[in-house]
Amino acid sequence: MEAFVSQCRDNKCVSANIPARSLRTLAVVALLLLASLTTASAALTASAAEAATSLPCDIYGAANTPCVAAHSTTRALYAAYNGPLYQVQRASDGARSNIGVLAAGGYANAAAQDSFCGATTCVITEIYDQSPRHNDLTIEGPGGAGGQDTGVPADALPVTAGGHQVYGASFSGRMGYRDNTTSGVARNGQPEGMYMITSGTHVNGACCFDYGNAETNNQDTGNGHMDALNFGTECWFQPCHGAGPWVQADLENGLFQSDSGGSKNTANTGITSPFVTALLKNNGQNFFALKDGNARSGGLRTTYSGPEPTLGGYAPMHQEGAIVLGTGGDNSNGSIGSFFEGVMTAGLPTDAADNAVQANVVSVGYGGPTGSTGTLSPASEISVRATTACCTGDYLRHQADKALISPVASGSSALDKSDATWIVRRGLADASCVSFESRNYPGDFLRHFDFQVLRQPMDGSAAFRSDATFCPVAGKNGQGTSFRSANYPAKYLRHYDNSVYIADSSGANAWDSATSWADDVSWAVAQPWAP
């Protein structure tokens, strides 16, 4: 049995696991101290303890599989945790700041990040381990298959969690984090479990968007030397059913959906939810299991549970105990992905503990309503309606990665309504302007490219930031609002032949036609179609 006490290191306070025999010694001291407390104080302490909510690492700890790693940019993963979640570095002067939680066991203080980063940009330089093991993740160095990585842009993935505005970590390739000198992580066939919250809308088929156990030298050292979650559309072993993305086990030299490598589960065609729970557990000897689930609702689905891979080197496993996030074990770093939280355990978690953790994750409400609607204030959810006489029932939406206008009404499908709903964010290149994040593709923004407007994931580049920033002005036709491009100030968001461009009224392109230009660049900011 274990319990938690607070300990601090470098101004970072965490909850530490204390063995039962140590607790008995502490209990004697505690009884002496309690004798001096008033009845009112003792009652208040008991009430506070009863009110504490069990978070993922509390749940796993109570099931005798304590967390040996707990990483998140969005929230605490222990009810008692009150330290920093991650560190950001400012581009303007290189200064660094830790971003903590609003309260013990609570959500990230994103306002502190916004204040610190101000008119410049920041990258995440470190993701702290909330467990007493201090397995903190720093930016990954070069490896056998990839060069030096960079940190993720700190503001690329704004999201609602627990009703708070926070930031996830958006990986755009050649980005990764690692700790090669860990404590307590499984080695040489020891059992372990892990989960991460990721996104089914931000994936690719490149290697390897991983979180978990990896080599300690950034090299491929052979079969079974990794035990990490992988999420993406890369099919290493046939068959793979559907188009993915799939939760797979990166056990080195293969992404496994079963003991034979390929999928034995025809129902596992992947999971495309905006927020996904991905889970792997492995006893290190003769068994591993994969699970997935919608991180916003419902339970977990077991996609595989059975023997270790039949290829040589996997039974038993040969884990080395490093922790990797965003790349493969040899720093294969071509993948994209999203990360909100994840933990690793000592020992094989029970299904009951996994289910309880999933229930807690669902309670967070990732991607829930922002609490503000219908205005151009940051974090407000809106829909944007055309004002041209032909098209007053048409709304700005995305489809197949492109922006267009189409009719949306109360009887429209949920997908159409979601595609036509946007979250207003501070302008990525100019805080006095705005950027538009997709409601159902977290971290994707409207941006122009070759003058056409697209929906794409924010990669942190200066070009993307400028292309995705629009400055509101009074509607050019006297109605609503027009949105001026931040980096092409003569051009405005315009619908033309149902597609959307940035356009002026005298350019060489067809969409620069002066005909109905003032109407086409004027938009009505309305209440959001999606909740």
Let me know if 320 is a catalytic residue. Answer: no
Catalytic pick from 252, 381, 419, 512? 252
Let me know if 252 is a catalytic residue. Answer: yes
* Tens digit of each residue's pLDDT (9 = 90 or more) over 395-432: 999 999 999 999 999 999 999 999 999 999 999 999 99
Q: Quote the strand ranges of 32-186, DSSP E.
A: 67-72, 84-90, 96-100, 122-127, 137-139, 157-161, 164-172, 177-179
Per-residue pLDDT of the chain (531 residues; tens, 9 = 90+): 333 333 343 334 433 343 333 333 333 333 333 333 333 333 333 323 323 589 999 999 999 999 999 999 999 999 999 999 999 999 999 999 999 999 999 999 999 999 999 989 999 999 999 999 999 999 999 999 999 999 999 999 999 999 999 999 999 999 999 999 999 999 999 999 999 999 999 999 999 999 999 999 999 999 999 999 999 999 999 999 999 999 999 999 999 999 999 999 999 999 999 999 999 999 999 999 999 999 999 999 999 999 999 999 999 999 999 999 999 999 999 999 999 999 999 999 999 999 999 999 999 999 999 999 999 999 999 999 999 999 999 999 999 999 999 999 999 999 999 999 999 999 999 999 999 999 999 999 999 999 999 999 999 999 999 999 999 999 999 999 999 999 999 999 999 999 999 999 999 999 999 999 999 999 999 999 998
Q: What is the pLDDT of residue 119?
A: 87
CB 302, CB 208: distance < 8 Å = no
Q: What is the pLDDT of residue 45?
A: 34
> Residue 512 gets which letter from DSSP?
G
| Angle, CA 449 vertex, CA 444 and CA 453 arms, to 5° | 60
Three-state secondary structure readout of 176-191: CEEECCCCCCCCCCCC
Q: What is the pLDDT of residue 18?
A: 37
| Angle, CA 307 vertex, CA 306 and CA 308 arms, to 5° | 125
Catalytic pick from 330, 381, 394, 520? 330
CA atoms within 13 A on the CB side of 163: 4
* Tens digit of each residue's pLDDT (9 = 90 or more) over 111-145: 999 999 998 999 999 999 999 999 999 999 999 99
- SS3 for 156? coil
Phi, psi of 518 (to 5 degrees): -60, -40
Quick one: which of 132, 199, 211, 126 has its CA closest to 161? 199
- SS3 for 419? helix
Ordered domains of the chain (ranges, CATH): 68-73+135-364 (2.60.120.200), 381-526 (2.80.10.50)
**Residue 17, H or E segment:** strand 12-19
Cβ count within 10 A of residue 20: 9
Q: What is the pLDDT of residue 240?
A: 98
Q: What is the pLDDT of residue 53?
A: 86
- Kindly report the pTM of this predicted structure: 0.90
CB 71, CB 325: distance < 8 Å = yes
CB 447, CB 389: distance < 8 Å = no
